[in-house]
Amino acid sequence: MPIQFQLKHQSAKSRARTGQLVTPHGAIDTPAFMPVGTQGTVKTVTPAMLEDLGAQIIVCNAYHIYIRPGSGLVKEAGGIHKFINWDKPVLTDSGGFQVFSLADIRKVTDDGVHFISHKDGAKLFFTPELVVQMQLDIGADIIMPLDECAAYAASRTAVEDAVGRTTRWAKRAKECFILQTEGQRARMEDPKKTSTLFGIVQGGVHADLRKRSCEEIAELDFPGFGIGGLSVGEPQSEMFAALEVAADALPKDKPRHLMGVGFAADIIGAVERGMDLFDCVIPTRLARHGSFLTMDRFDSIRKARYEKDFTPIDSECDCYTCRSGFSRAYIRHLFMAKEILAYTLLTIHNLRFLMRLMASLREKILKDEI
């Protein structure tokens, strides 16, 4: 297999575990947070900064890259790693969530999804096969199939339909993936360009539907699983309950990626329930809105009380922003003046906050303190 996953330690007190996921572009110690570089860049920071912050892997979005600059162009450039100058692992999200967030301009059928491009209004049609092919062109280490994400407010019938369609699409995606990758092996292409297809489970917060989806997708024998359809507005307690169902229903020896979760309390609770990988735009998006992450969620640098606060964002943080003496007052000034450096300094802190959190969780799991 292009990837290997090895469990290192299972907590004696919870479902929490540590592991290592080995990909063609390096190993990832889990649990781990993956910064999101939607269009091939983690906003306002360079690849060198990401490596400095402790990022082991990043997430790019296949939908956005397909729209612009085009997955064919990325392939011509030698793949996503060469194109964005990042030689560590890359995971591509299929774009399913982005497509399904366009509720008023899309139509879902069993064949695929008809929708309108957010860029130029062009009519597009995504099928499970096209989504696999464009991600293989992009050349990520881990790729995701097209799935249907039902909203939290969706009816049980709608969630059940989404579970069935996600399974059918997963089967088609895997068949396409096998056909395409067999061709790659026959051509003896560079093994570092080999991708691995994960499965995605749905089911919303309905325990029986979540369990059914996990069992159906697990039966297809994917080497890893994305947990979809959560962090879409449901109460935290319901998300945690769904994660417990998923952790018990999915194979223990394969990685689990909880998609779209980026606040500390949610990550800690998900780690306790056996999740291994996380991604979210929260750290970079909050930075662009003048906020920094804390264990209590986040705080805004725009508050008047920080105007004369000459202390760092976090005196215990070892990130460049905090350890180099940039004060809250100065960062607030930069943000109010709309200086780009404000976004960079806040992004550095937010990402490092999550990297430190994950390292701390790995250590606590090893000591059976979770």
CATH class of 4-280: alpha beta
- The answer to whether 164 and 150 have CB atoms below 8 angstroms apart is no
Provide the edge-to-edge strand list for the sheet that holds 26-30: 4-10, 17-23, 26-30
pTM of the predicted model as reported, rounded to 2 decimal places: 0.96
Torsions phi, psi of 299, nearest 5? -140, 155
Unique residue bearing structure tokens 């000034």:
333
Query: Which residues make up the CATH 3.20.20.105 domain(s) of the chain?
Result: 4-280
Helices (H), 125-235: 128-138, 156-186, 207-219
Cite the active site residues: 93, 279
Pairing of strands 90-93, 142-143: parallel
pLDDT tens per residue, the chain (370 residues)? 689 999 999 999 999 999 999 999 999 999 999 999 999 999 999 999 999 999 999 999 999 999 999 999 999 999 999 999 999 999 999 877 777 676 666 888 999 999 888 788 889 999 999 999 999 999 999 999 999 999 999 999 999 999 999 999 999 999 999 999 887 666 656 778 899 999 999 999 999 999 999 999 999 999 999 999 999 999 999 999 999 999 999 999 999 999 999 999 999 999 999 999 999 999 999 999 999 999 999 999 999 999 999 999 999 999 999 999 999 999 999 999 999 999 999 999 999 999 999 999 999 999 999 8
Q: At what angle do helices 156-186 and 128-138 cross, to 10 degrees?
A: 50
